[in-house]
Structure 1
Amino acid sequence: MKNSIALLLCTLLVFVHGGLVMGAGTKDGSEQWGYVQVRPKAHMFWWHYKSPYRVDDPSKPWPIILWLQGGPGASGVGIGNFQEIGPLDNFLNPRNSTWLKKADLLFVDNPVGTGYSFVEDDNAYVRTDEEAATDLTTLLRKLFNKNEQLQKSPLYVVAESYGGKYAVTLGLSIVKAMKAGHSKLKFGGVALGDSWISPQDYVFSWGPLLKDLSRLDNNGLAESKRLSGQIEAGQFVNATDTWGDLENAIVLGSNSVDFYNFMLDSANDPLESTATSLQSLKAAASSQKYSTYLGTTQKFTPGGDGDVRTLMNGAIKAKLKIIPENVRWGSQSGNVFAALSGDFMKPRINEVDELLKNGVNVTVYNGQVDLICATKGTEAWVEKLKWEGLKTFFSLDREPLYCEDDTVTTKGFVRSYKNLHFYWILGAGHFSESGQPSTSRFTSVYFDFNQPRKWKLMKNFINLLLCFLLVLVIYGGVVMGVGTKDGSEQWGYVQVRPKAHMFWWHYKSPYRVDDPSKPWPIILWLQGGPGGSGTGFGNFREVGPLDNFLNPRNSTWLKKADLLFVVSPSFPTRYSYVEDDNAYVKTDEAAAADLTTLLRKLFNKNEQLQKSPLYVVGDSYGGKFAVTLGLSVVKAIKTGHLKLKFGGVALGDSWISPQDYAFYFRVAQKIKQQIEAGKFVNATDSWADLEEVIFWGSNSVDFYNFMLDSTNDSSPATVTSLQSSKAAASFRKYSTYLGNSHRFAPGGSGDLDTLMDVAIRAKLKIIPKNVDQLLKNGVNVTVYNGQVDLICSTKGTEAWVEKLKWGGLKGFLSLDRKPLYCEDDTTTTKGFVRSYKNLHFYWILGAGHYVPVDQPCVSLQMIGDITQSPN
């Protein structure tokens, strides 16, 4: 066992296109570190400490703290670790107040370019807090999703200074990813320490606060008002520059007050980097001003002379061994700040509100004598929250805090109500963890960090990372990820075109029945969107073996067939990806060509797969992919380029004829005319306008289940974003698109604008003629629709079916429907079916847009009939 552990620790992990670059650690497993490639050419460094104080208590799982440093561009691995809460200080002496006494610690250098993290291309720097959250979500997914031991520990995101903005955006991304089943972790909450949540409130607090302290006259107040105008106008980049000018005015007007402790002059602060550098000319802006930014990287330990930069580029880099030779700790930090300058002054109060609304524990703590993120400013933005519990929160008395057995000296106060907690830390400046190390640990009370300090030796080493080697076969186009040991699951990439990589995931059914007369089928699931993830949404939310809580799904379609999930079209953040924006698909036909390439790579040299008939099931917009793919498969089979048995296509609540689905109110006539004129982009805009009319006119009907208001739908994918203006076009409208999985996806924000720019023209094209072609070629076509779906209503589906020119249509429409029941219950009608030759239509009662979710029993029976499953 010891040898295998040592071998694993020393293993070099290579994950060519999506993940772990390398990992290492100490021999005893108490520390592990490595890189995650969060995006092409963007590498994020992490360092995980396992606590020697860990106590195994099933009622209180041992927590993990993810520490996010400020800046932007300051290093959590360096500053947060060695200067604030890690096991050693910046002289490498043990820290008595280390937070390891309460939890495991996970430090990251975030965003990419910070600390040891690095980018290979300047275009890879993040430019918004949301992009940073997406990268962090990717890192957490790579670390947690395959590590059951980590999944047992609740994760608490603790942030300092600008890191608070990362924390709240990451918190929302985690919530969305967990709902989508893409993130396998327990989310404990977020803690915002002296955090730059509302720049306006902090800047406005400086003048009055320093005026009351006799450190400033009215000149600083005037500068605050000037900055206010720029922030209110939304000129965030200009506001960032003006913020620097204001700091300079305060430095001069106050005779160099310390921005991290207003009780000191900057010259008396143990921090080497101070606001005095703001006396420099604006021409020196980014690099010189950065030294004053929140989360400074310079000398810190009171009375010390330790230089963290020297430490990190010397002894620590030598210890870690895996840092590339050309990477110097902090060398790209200035670029990180410059890239985020447009977001620097943007407030994140709404994100805090969203976290509270979602039931996430939010803790705010602030140092009494901090100026840069003054307590007065923090209280101001907290008072702006729209959270329903805020009034009661403020009505409560604060409780005093003491340090250990000293009940004489007040160290702070705390107020808590439901999931909002506020700590006032007396005597502390911007860095509460160092200014009041004992009191700062009180913030862990509501995180259940307060575990007994008892060491228990781990019997088995935790395998933190999946240790498998993915091999890119350049000319074959397949990146093979071997899969599970028993062969029940396989996954990998196919390079469908140069710089375009499609991810697939194949589940072999444990219910397989070998019947020569009825070969066991394979279902290829195509999600909607466009851009929705079949591997995520279709798999974990609808038909896969596990739900998004990782519980077994009794109604999994594996009971009737093997399942093959893909992410199409090639799309970032959902595993499939492109290396060049020009590689995005622009039409449904291009998407079908990519999918045909994938099928050719998977089937042509696999005789076992060739024995099983393939059924293509399209959900929502995925139905458009399904019919174009169906025609492509037929052609490829006829020319001998594709070796598979084609069973047919099934179109589930599918966006086949937008004109028929949108035919409501007067706006619909305009959409019809635009579609007929080939003005598909205009029609898409009008379609969004129509949804907004319906949304307001119906008092927020749910587009995925018209029996509900949108606020009552358990599916987060709603049309509420239509309250936004047309100016918010591509990104925000996307959240209303059919089969929306974006709000379920990890990180919650990908490069959707680019995808929609190139895919939008195909959005509203009419497809019934493609269905006609499939029927003419003898392909089995199944249509199924949820009774209470609105976005792809049954009425709209019936309308486009009636427009088919197929020769058997009259015979089809003349037949009576047959009732459907679930298993042995013949008293409750679950739906109806009509079949004639190779056209089949299922009406599923009580189901909305997501039939397998709303009516799992009858949908399982339906897919068994469609695929002629022997089970």
Structure 2
Amino acid sequence: MMKLLLRMRLRHRRLSSPPLTRLLACLLLLLLPLSRAATVVTRLPGFHGPLPFYLETGYVDVEEETGAELFYYFVESERSPGTDPVLLWLTGGPRCSAFSGLAYEIGPVKFVLEPYDGTLPRLVYSPDSWTRVASIIFLDSPVGSGFSYARDPRGYDVGDVSSSRQVVTFLRKWFDAHPWLLSNPFYVAGDSYGGKMAPVVAQYISEGNEAMRHPLINLKGYLVGNPVTGDDIDRNSQIPYAHSHGIISDQQYEAAMANCKGDYVSPANKLCADVLQTIKNLMSEVDTKDILQPTCPLDSPNPGRDASARRYLAEEHYYRISDPPVEPSSRCFEYRYYLSYFWANDNATRAALGVKEGTVTEWVRCKRSGFPYTYDVPSSIRYHFNLTTRGYRALVYSGDHDLGIPFSGTHAWIRSFNFSIVDDWRAWHLDGQAAGFTIKYGNNLTFATVKGGRHAAPGNRPKECFAMAERWLDNKPL
């Protein structure tokens, strides 16, 4: 019966009437274990009309002892879901919600950027969604991110290694419940700190496959954007990047090189420490995630809300708002983050997404404190090396206006592998213009920059990043 319903669900999703589709989905969900119960979402609060794509949300238990469950958003490919790749998307932080990927970067919805007036923020379809060519699982990981939770407080005490293994547990259980996708090519993807965890998760999947742990996941590779490594190379590359972009002077750069001897992380003498403090002050004058954009401190003055907004807030439309975030300027990229706080904490939103009552009292995009976290993968570089030398495909891309994780530092650790060059440094194009630059190395490793891209490049260069992802996933040259 289970297999029959799965086949019917796949065959009829595009062909049957909406009521029949919903009925088949509901019958399937009733057969799934309770801890993995899913919700088929056909409408989202703030989005006009039915969703033009298939969205499923749900939980998967990843630790029985503490009752830890990871929440996910699954969006099916709009092109050919039976054969298109399946991506797992991990967001940075750690403990930033995967909703960031869904609504700000590569997903099929985005916020209408209009001044918040107390009513529910509006969503519209994003034409540059990667779900046009791939099915994507947006995962709230580690526990404590987004709507993921644990019944026992001990379940929130995780780190790089334990959370990565929980992701693998999630995937094996998720594919158990979605076996029709097991034969599709699978990639682990993520940006920022998620870019650090992606190769770790991919290596654990690979090791599990080699040990014949079922279900066998059809891992083909991974892709990461402006990835943190945890290695000193990330921060050491900031100084030469800042110099090359006119943020620090020749004299300051020369003083740093002379007194710090290439180590800008742990100053060994006072002269080094002094020049690094000067440089730090200068770097604070720009947005490190996008050096061309205005700086938008989170503690900027709140312009306040009008009377209608205050009335709306008082009508208990929201789940449990204790202290709303400070409202940034609408010209800031972060304004969309501000809107998401009110959208995700709305009662109607939580009901539509199938969020379990009493599990997460207040949704925030990134939980910066409150839960322990162990950084026990000091550097992810060896995981990149291990995977690529074992034949897995890799795309590493960088928005070239990111000062936090500069493209030059990322390219430096890639070059340290000493792989042969298959296709030398060149421009890649979109609409007849250079969209960035790329180089392809042996072992199927591609590095690309996104011209004008910020720390999460799809956020401000969506068309370029979609073109890049589509070509790479389709095994075509950038």
Q: 1:375 aligns with which of 404, 407, 414?
A: 407
Q: Is the 8 A contact 1:365 1:443 kept in 2?
A: no
Q: Distance in 2 between matches of 1:335 and 1:73?
A: 9
Q: 1:351 aligns with which of 383, 405, 424?
A: 383
* Partner SS for 1:93: strand
Question: CA 1:300/1:354 → structure 2, altered by over 3 Å: closer, same or farther?
Answer: farther
Q: 1:329 aligns with which of 351, 359, 363?
A: 363
Q: Distance in 1 between matches of 2:352 and 2:284?
A: 43
* Partner SS for 1:334: coil
Q: Is the 8 A contact 2:222 2:393 kept in 1?
A: yes
Q: Distance in 1 between matches of 2:341 and 2:157?
A: 23
Query: Following TM superposition, by how much is the alpha carbon of 1:370 offset from its aligned partner in structure 2, in angstroms?
Result: 0.7
Partner of 2:88: 66
Partner of 2:453: 428
Partner of 1:225: 263
Q: 1:412 aligns with which of 436, 439, 456?
A: 436
Partner of 2:288: 259
Partner of 1:507: none
Question: CA 1:330/1:365 → structure 2, altered by over 3 Å: closer, same or farther?
Answer: same
1:431 counterpart letter in structure 2: A
Q: 1:112 aligns with which of 143, 146, 170?
A: 143
User: Kindly, what percent of the aligned residue pairs are identical?
Assistant: 25
Query: Following TM superposition, by how much is the alpha carbon of 1:115 offset from its aligned partner in structure 2, in angstroms?
Result: 0.6
Query: Following TM superposition, by how much is the alpha carbon of 1:110 offset from its aligned partner in structure 2, in angstroms?
Result: 0.6
Partner of 1:552: none
Q: Distance in 2 between matches of 1:118 and 1:63?
A: 28
Please show how residues 529-548 of structure 1 align to structure 2 within 5 Å: none
The C-alpha deviation readout for 1:700-736, integer Å capped at 9, x for no partner, is xxxxxxxxxxxxxxxxxxxxxxxxxxxxxxxxxxxxx
The C-alpha deviation readout for 1:53-100, integer Å capped at 9, x for no partner, is 3266xxxx2111111101111111x11101111111033111111111
* Partner SS for 2:265: helix
Question: CA 1:37/1:31 → structure 2, altered by over 3 Å: closer, same or farther?
Answer: same
Q: Is the 8 A contact 1:266 1:275 kept in 2?
A: no
Question: CA 1:322/1:127 → structure 2, altered by over 3 Å: closer, same or farther?
Answer: closer
Partner of 2:188: 157
The C-alpha deviation readout for 1:601-652, integer Å capped at 9, x for no partner, is xxxxxxxxxxxxxxxxxxxxxxxxxxxxxxxxxxxxxxxxxxxxxxxxxxxx
Question: CA 1:209/1:414 → structure 2, altered by over 3 Å: closer, same or farther?
Answer: closer
Query: Following TM superposition, by how much is the alpha carbon of 1:206 offset from its aligned partner in structure 2, in angstroms?
Result: 1.3
Please show how residues 807-846 of structure 1 align to structure 2 within 5 Å: none
Q: 2:179 aligns with which of 137, 140, 148?
A: 148
The runs of 5 or more residues in structure 2 that have no matched partner are 1-7, 9-19, 43-50, 113-122, 302-324
Q: Distance in 2 between matches of 1:37 and 1:433?
A: 30
Please show how residues 428-447 of structure 1 align to structure 2 within 5 Å: 428-441=453-466, 442-447=468-473
| Structure 1 residue 50 corresponds to structure 2 residue 69 | no
| Structure 1 residue 317 corresponds to structure 2 residue 332 | no
TM-score normalized by structure 1? Answer: 0.42
1:22 counterpart letter in structure 2: A
Q: Distance in 1 between matches of 2:341 and 2:138?
A: 17
Q: Distance in 2 between matches of 1:226 and 1:257?
A: 19
Please show how residues 30-429 of structure 1 align to structure 2 within 5 Å: 30-40=54-64, 41-54=67-80, 61-76=83-98, 78-91=99-112, 92-182=123-213, 183-216=215-248, 217=252, 225=263, 227-228=265-266, 250=279, 252-267=281-296, 273=298, 307-314=339-346, 315-327=348-360, 328-330=362-364, 333-335=367-369, 338-340=372-374, 342-343=375-376, 346-385=378-417, 390-393=418-421, 396-403=423-430, 406-407=431-432, 409-417=433-441, 418-429=443-454
Q: 1:11 aligns with which of 22, 30, 55?
A: 30
Query: Following TM superposition, by how much is the alpha carbon of 1:198 offset from its aligned partner in structure 2, in angstroms?
Result: 4.5
Q: Is the 8 A contact 1:168 1:190 kept in 2?
A: yes
Partner of 1:819: none
Query: Following TM superposition, by how much is the alpha carbon of 1:158 offset from its aligned partner in structure 2, in angstroms?
Result: 1.2
The C-alpha deviation readout for 1:400-444, integer Å capped at 9, x for no partner, is 2221xx21x211122223411111111111121122112112133
Question: CA 1:332/1:97 → structure 2, altered by over 3 Å: closer, same or farther?
Answer: closer
Question: CA 1:55/1:69 → structure 2, altered by over 3 Å: closer, same or farther?
Answer: closer
| Count of residue correspondences | 394
Q: Distance in 1 between matches of 2:256 and 2:300?
A: 15
Q: Distance in 1 between matches of 2:401 and 2:140?
A: 27
Query: Following TM superposition, by how much is the alpha carbon of 1:117 offset from its aligned partner in structure 2, in angstroms?
Result: 0.6
Q: Distance in 2 between matches of 1:228 and 1:117?
A: 36
Query: Following TM superposition, by how much is the alpha carbon of 1:376 offset from its aligned partner in structure 2, in angstroms?
Result: 1.1
Q: Is the 8 A contact 1:90 1:301 kept in 2?
A: no
Q: Distance in 2 between matches of 1:71 and 1:303?
A: 18
* Partner SS for 2:382: helix
Greater RCO, 1 or 2 (C-alpha within 8 Å, sep 6+): 2
Question: CA 1:249/1:114 → structure 2, altered by over 3 Å: closer, same or farther?
Answer: farther
Please show how residues 471-870 of structure 1 align to structure 2 within 5 Å: none
TM-score normalized by structure 2? Answer: 0.73
Q: Distance in 2 between matches of 1:111 and 1:43?
A: 10
2:357 counterpart letter in structure 1: P
Query: Following TM superposition, by how much is the alpha carbon of 1:300 offset from its aligned partner in structure 2, in angstroms?
Result: 6.9
Q: Distance in 2 between matches of 1:381 and 1:37?
A: 36
Question: CA 1:134/1:300 → structure 2, altered by over 3 Å: closer, same or farther?
Answer: farther
Q: Distance in 1 between matches of 2:199 and 2:438?
A: 21
Q: Is the 8 A contact 1:126 1:132 kept in 2?
A: no
Q: Distance in 1 between matches of 2:183 and 2:72?
A: 19
Q: Is the 8 A contact 1:103 1:449 kept in 2?
A: no
1:374 counterpart letter in structure 2: P
Q: Distance in 2 between matches of 1:374 and 1:398?
A: 17
The C-alpha deviation readout for 1:735-786, integer Å capped at 9, x for no partner, is xxxxxxxxxxxxxxxxxxxxxxxxxxxxxxxxxxxxxxxxxxxxxxxxxxxx
- Aligned Cα RMSD in Å? 3.4
1:107 counterpart letter in structure 2: F
1:435 counterpart letter in structure 2: N
Q: Is the 8 A contact 2:396 2:446 kept in 1?
A: yes
Q: Is the 8 A contact 2:341 2:365 kept in 1?
A: no
Question: CA 1:149/1:336 → structure 2, altered by over 3 Å: closer, same or farther?
Answer: farther
The C-alpha deviation readout for 1:158-211, integer Å capped at 9, x for no partner, is 110010121011000110111122232211210010000244112111122213
The C-alpha deviation readout for 1:212-239, integer Å capped at 9, x for no partner, is 3332335877788362479xxxxxxxxx
Q: Is the 8 A contact 1:90 1:311 kept in 2?
A: no
Structure with higher Rg: it is 1
The C-alpha deviation readout for 1:518-567, integer Å capped at 9, x for no partner, is xxxxxxxxxxxxxxxxxxxxxxxxxxxxxxxxxxxxxxxxxxxxxxxxxx
Question: CA 1:339/1:160 → structure 2, altered by over 3 Å: closer, same or farther?
Answer: same
Q: Distance in 2 between matches of 1:260 and 1:311?
A: 24
| Structure 1 residue 25 corresponds to structure 2 residue 63 | no
Q: Distance in 1 between matches of 2:90 and 2:180?
A: 22
Question: CA 1:316/1:122 → structure 2, altered by over 3 Å: closer, same or farther?
Answer: same
* Partner SS for 1:89: strand
Query: Following TM superposition, by how much is the alpha carbon of 1:6 offset from its aligned partner in structure 2, in angstroms?
Result: 5.0
Q: Distance in 1 between matches of 2:276 and 2:340?
A: 25
